[in-house]
Amino acid sequence: MIETDSIDQGSSEKSNTKVFVLVFLMLCVLTGLSFWVANSYLMENKVVGWAAMMLVSVAKALLVILFFMHLWWERAWKYVLTIPALFMGVLLVLLLVPDVGYRYLTYSKDRRENAPEPVVSEPAEVSDATPKLD
Amino acid sequence: MAEVSVENSIEPGRKGNAVSRFVWTYVFATDHKVIGLQFLFSSLIWFFVGGFLALAVRWQLAWPWSDMPIFGHMLFAESGGQMSPGFYNMLFTMHATIMIFFVIIPILAGAFGNYLIPLMVGAEDMAFPRLNMMSYWFMWPAFGCIILSFFMPEYGASAGWTSYPPLSVFQGDAQSLWLLAMVFVGISSMMGSINYLTTIIQMRAPGMTMFRLPMTVWGMFITAIMQAFALPVLTAALLMQLSDRMLMTGFFLPENIAVNNGVATSGGGQVLLWQHLFWFYSHPAVYIMILPAMGMVSDIISCFSRKPLFGYRPMVYSITSIAGLGFIVWGHHMFISGMNHTLAMSFMVSTMLIALPSGIKVFNWIGTLWGGKLQLTTPMLFCVGFVSMFVIGGLSGIVMSAPPVDIVIHDTYYIVAHLHYVLFASSVLGVLGAIYFWFPKMFGRMMNEKLGKIHFLLTFIFLNGTFFPMHFLSRMPRRVADPYIYEGLKDLLPLNQFMTICAIGMGLTQLIFVANFFGSMFFGPKAGRNPWNANTLEWTTVSPPPHGNFDVQPIVRRGPYEYSHPETERDFFPQTESS
Amino acid sequence: MNSKANPSESADIAKGGEDKGSHGHIELKYQPAVPVPKGKLAVWLFLSTEIMFFTALIGTYIVLRFGAPEGSWPTPEDVRVLEWLGAVNTFVLICSSVTIVFGMEAAKQDQPGRAKKWLLATFVLGCVFLGIKAYEYNSKFEHGIHPGSPRSLLYDRADLNYLSAVKSNLDAEILRIEKKKTALVSESGTGHDHGGGEKDLILIRAGLVQWTQKAVGETESPMVRELALESLAHQINPRGSNPRVETYLANEAADVRNRIAELMGQQEIVDEDVREMQERVKGLSAELKGEQDATKKSDIESRLAAATEESKTAAIKSTEVVDLLTPLKSRIAAYEQFGEIHDGLNEHFHLRLPMVIPSGNTWANTYFLMTGFHALHVLGGLVAFIVLLTFRLDRSRAGLMENVGLYWHFVDIVWIFLFPLLYLF
């Protein structure tokens, strides 16, 4: 009985080590992937690139949480902690968006004149003497 | 490790001289009861400081620019004893700060949470006694910062307790001290809440299921969760404001804001960001300041009605849903800030929803009282006062949850009335009731009932005299040192004078409490284990409980509210008693 | 009897280490709700509060960044961010996460020596992370990218406020160099300074700053004013090629050259006039000396006075032309001397003149806020490692190792999100 126990233990150790090495390799690959995305055609549409990189990050975070932090092996209490925290975090950021994230849309004229200069993509004509912002 | 346990060295009765024994027992204490009392005493001291500040505010509103008695000549000798408008700003700022962060939150979560949680769940101590000690000692840097800020040129932070930028960013150094103090309070509360949660989750006595916990513990539990999730956001915001002040970053500052003829170039932030982050904590803080009181009041009402608590589970669910909703209503503090209208509407709806669980609670308290064999002891009187005052405070809250109404009454005395009905007339009455109720357990002696009843009666009359007329002042702006410079407000002076007289009366009344408290501590009649014939675990042990709390292993067999149970002759049925 | 290695069983192990046993009172029994040791539960609770803390920080960054005026966020090159260095740091932290996991496994298997080695490796990796972070911070500080305005050299727009900042900064720099030079001359007799030579600085002042000041003051067109300021900012710190500014500068240079040619022509004529007048004055004064007749003398005198007057006017005219020419010439000189500098004056001469990087300050604020608090958390982890390293890391400490590990993984996760947000977006 004891022997089988110790054998079980040994094998589970080994598989754990294997899992950790595998997770490590996946993390490295994913890091490379997000680096690749940042310099690839996906960034031509920024939103697509950002979404892809965030997805990669979420995947990496999940790998770390599930395996390195052993949440994969924990019982149901893990949901009690992680889901409210996740919910609160997302909620906070989402509710900041209308007021702070979209603040530029509601800038006063005065503030717009002092706002950071947006990059003008096409060269404007020098002789054009009309004011740029109104 | 077990041999060099620190707890051992702190245990009373250790060798060493009396001084070192005193220091180890009462100063560097790891016993939750001593820490609870440390919180209690420091909060009560700050309660009086905050009360004095409130009286100074009232003085200015009743007799504007007249010489302040005693303090006027100490502080404003050159102007002949009148306070300055800036000093008035400091008064209301520090009054709110002290009352919220140094009195109500520490006394509810710190004092009662610490004292009662392990006793009520049947634990020998908190899960982490040393963390608990740290939690108290992190209050002291905060105390130090606030005390120091009183000696700054502007006599303390004066940007309002909400510290809205850009004003707060360009205040004097006292504001930095204020921010630091709040960071320390935050760390202290965070440590405390982690400790409470772990204790409640992991250290309940056998048989003490979650639905056998007294409402007090439920209140503390939910409060601790709220603190754990909301406080870090405030801490982050405080640190950002600190960096806006010290490093001139621009998290909360718009572009090219001109200050003292110079331009703070590092802008790009948004003042509303502060308001959002601040209220993300500070609205839940409102519930942090009342849920534990609600829990304690539920226990006390049930005990003195000699009846089971009406609707235990709905009570638990309503506390939980108040907490859940409390997280998504913060925007109702910002209706006039120019926030997004759709956002404002969703905040309005969620705010109105809170009336539902609050209503359930009030209904359940009344249901508990209904048909009970009421024992009108002092704690019971305070709790009945709590319920009635909470109704007033809650109703005025529903009124202002609608943006069109709030836009009109924002920053008027109507708001002041509302928040004082919730925080003073409810929370503080609940706390006073709880002190009267658990005093025998804390000090082993009963408090004087007659003095207690006089204390209650006068407090109740004076607080209504002070705060109720504020409901009629919905045209008087708050945070204005002299509202009577406006022609239309001149007629409010007599009413304000009446309120100030009541406030002074209320302040003086508390001296009765002080006398009763200290007198009873030394000369009160000895209380047995269970002077109120209550059911919960703390009453099964000696008063005051020894180190380790229990002399027998508590085995819980039933819920905490089995009063007048048919199976037993007595009208109470302790949780541990075998049937 | 060996306990199993799965984490919920390690609960008992850790508990054995944590419970202090009875001290003078009865030992109470509890019914824990979750099958983990108290310490681990507390660490998880602590991490939830940390999640909210970093949510507030990252949320602030997200709303400030994506709410910044369209297209104004600085590129990595603008703010000296090396993407690959961020990737390396990510890799370092991932490695450290693995090493601490192995450390904990070793402790669980009661192999304190191996556990300590893994822990030491984690500690070293954490230090490497902080070292790289320090290098990154330093390279930003060197280029005047600081959080906050007293030291930060970043400006959101090329406006008058920016111009006056450049001017006062440049004046201060020239003054500093002059002072240093006199000090050095009096000390050792040689005047040598690093950074931009005094000559270059003075040319920058005359040919760029004062020129822009003049241009801005004289023009009525807001467009030209904007372009003049923008070109100054571009010359100090270019952010990629800016065809708008380059066209403007080229046009302006041609214009200036024409004006110079024109003025040179004028100058010749004026100089001719001056010479003529001077000769006439000379001749008349010589005539005056030789003349004896009083009536003739008075006639010559009046003619001499008129000639002197005329010569004076001519001289004034000449200086006027020179006055007009000087700024044009220094402008052309600056144009010729600095025109070939593509990395900007700041970079080329190691100057610290204010730079225009739209939303650069907001970038710096949020970057330093997030990485700073992350680095503080890393530092906290390192302190915990040092404390752990003093223990014998056998099975009884596996729970403690796990708790510290949980915290360390959390720090890693935060960086996993910070890396794309700060480096790649």
Q: Is C240 on the interface with A (CB under 8 A)?
A: no
Chain position carrying tokens 């529903």: B398
> Could you give the C-alpha distances from B578 to A119, A121, B530, C323, in angstroms and in order?
78, 82, 17, 108
Nearest to C98 among A9, A20, A37 (CB): A20
C212-240 mean pLDDT: 87
- Rg (C-alpha) for chain B, rounded Å, is 24
Q: Report d(CA C298, CA B35) in Å as an integer.
A: 112
Q: Chain C: give the shortest CA distance to residue A87, in Å.
A: 10
Tell me the two tokens of residue C288.
Answer: 């005056």
**CB contact, 8 Å: C168 with chain B?**
no
For C356, which residue in chain B has the nearest alpha carbon?
B265
Nearest to B353 by CA among B381, B325, B390: B325
Q: Which member of A84, A92, A98 has the closest CB to residue B233?
A: A92
DSSP string, B67-86: PPSSHHHHH-TTTTSPPPHH
Confidence of residue A130 (pLDDT cuts 50, 70, 90): very low
Q: What pLDDT is recorded for position B532?
A: 94
**A116–chain B nearest CA distance, Å:** 8
Written as tens digits, the pLDDT of chain B (579 aa) is 333 333 333 444 455 678 888 888 778 888 999 999 999 999 999 999 999 999 999 999 999 988 877 777 777 777 777 888 889 999 999 999 999 999 999 999 999 999 999 999 999 999 999 999 999 999 999 999 999 999 988 888 999 999 999 889 888 899 999 999 999 999 999 999 999 999 999 999 999 999 999 999 999 999 999 999 999 999 999 999 999 888 888 899 887 776 666 666 567 888 899 999 999 999 999 999 999 999 999 999 999 999 999 999 999 999 999 999 999 999 999 999 888 889 999 999 999 999 999 999 999 999 999 999 999 999 999 999 999 999 999 999 999 999 999 999 999 999 999 999 999 999 999 999 999 999 999 999 999 999 999 999 999 999 999 999 999 998 999 999 999 999 999 999 999 999 999 999 999 999 999 999 999 999 999 998 999 999 999 999 998 999 889 988 999 999 999 998 888 888 889 998 887
Q: What are phi and psi for residue B553, nearest 5 degrees?
A: -65, 115
Q: Does C20 touch chain B (CB under 8 A)?
A: yes
Q: Is the entire prediction scored with pTM above 0.80?
A: yes
In eight-state DSSP terms, residue C109 is T
**From the CA atom positions of chain A, what is the Rg in Å?**
25
ipTM exceeding cut-off 0.85 for this assembly: yes
Residue C352's contacts (CB-CB under 8 Å, 6 or more residues apart) are C144, C153, C169, C173, C346
Distance of CA B307 to the CA centre of its chain: 28
Asked if pLDDT for residue A22 goes beyond 60, the answer is yes
* CA distances for B484 relative to A94, B90, B91, B476, angstroms: 43, 20, 19, 9
Buried b (16+ CB within 10 A) or exposed e, C75-86: eeebbebebeeb
Interface probe for A, chosen from B201, B256, B257 (most Cβ of A below 10 Å), is B256
Give me the mean pLDDT over the A44-71 stretch.
90
Which residue of chain A is at minimal alpha-carbon distance from B271?
A100
The ranges assigned to domains in chain B are: 32-540
Please name the member of A85, A88, A98 whose beta carbon is closest to the beta carbon of B342.
A98
Q: Tell me, what's the pLDDT at C322?
A: 85
Nearest neighbour of C248 by CB, restricted to A81, A126, A130: A126
Element (H, E) at C355: strand C355-356
Instruction: Determine contact, residues C73/C363, Cβ cutoff 8 Å.
Output: yes
pLDDT at A119: 62
Task: Pick C177 or C90 by higher pLDDT.
Answer: C90
Closest residue of chain B to C147, computed from CA coordinates: B249
Tokens of B118: 């392990």
pLDDT classification of C301: cutoffs 50, 70, 90: confident
> Would you state the pLDDT for residue C16?
37
Residue A97 at interface with chain C, using a CB cutoff of 8 Å: yes
Chain A residues within 8 A of B348 when measuring between CB atoms:
none
Q: Residue B267: its chain A contacts at CB < 8 A?
A: 114
> Residue B141, Cα to own-chain centre: how many angstroms?
19
Count of residues in chain C: 425
Q: In the complex, which subunits touch A with 3 or more CB pairs below 8 angstroms?
A: B, C
Chain B contact for C64, CB < 8 A?
A: yes
Min CA distance, C224 vs chain B (Å)?
Answer: 22
Q: Which pLDDT score is estimated for B565?
A: 87
As a whole number of angstroms, the distance between CA C346 and CA C357 comes to 13
Q: Please tell me which of B68-77, B95-104, C186-195, C315-324 the model is most confident about, judged by mean pLDDT.
A: B95-104
pLDDT at B260: 61
CA distances from B65 to B59, B68, B431 (A): 9, 8, 35
What CATH code is assigned to B32-540?
Answer: 1.20.210.10
Closest CA to C51 of B343, B238, B235: B235
DSSP line for B392-429: HHHHHHHHHTSHHHHHHHTTBHHHHHHHHHHIIIIIIH
C55 contacts in B (CB within 8 Å)? 233
Three-state DSSP class for B264?
Answer: strand
Question: For chain C, what percentages of helix, strand and coil (3-state, to nearest 5) are there?
Answer: 75, 0, 25
Which member of B7, B248, B264 has the closest CB to residue C23? B7
Q: How many helices and strands in chain B, by DSSP H and E? A: 21, 2
Q: Which of A119, A120, A122 to mutate to test the interface with C (most CBs of C within 10 A)?
A: A119
| CB contact (8 A) between residue B240 and residue C369 | yes
* CA A106 – CA C321 distance, rounded (Å): 51
Confidence bin at C49 (pLDDT 50/70/90): very high
What is the structure's pLDDT at B446?
95
User: Is A91 near chain B, with CB under 8 Å?
Assistant: yes
Residues of A in contact with C157 (CB under 8 A): 114-117
Q: What is the mean pLDDT of chain A?
A: 77
User: What single-letter DSSP state applies at residue C394?
Assistant: S
**In this predicted model, which residue has the larger pLDDT, B344 or A116?**
B344
Task: Tell me which residue has tokens 């899992």.
Answer: A19
Reported confidence tier of residue C25, pLDDT bands at 50, 70, 90: low
Residue C328 binned pLDDT confidence (cut-offs 50, 70, 90): confident
Judge: A126–C33 Cβ closer than 8 Å, yes or no: no
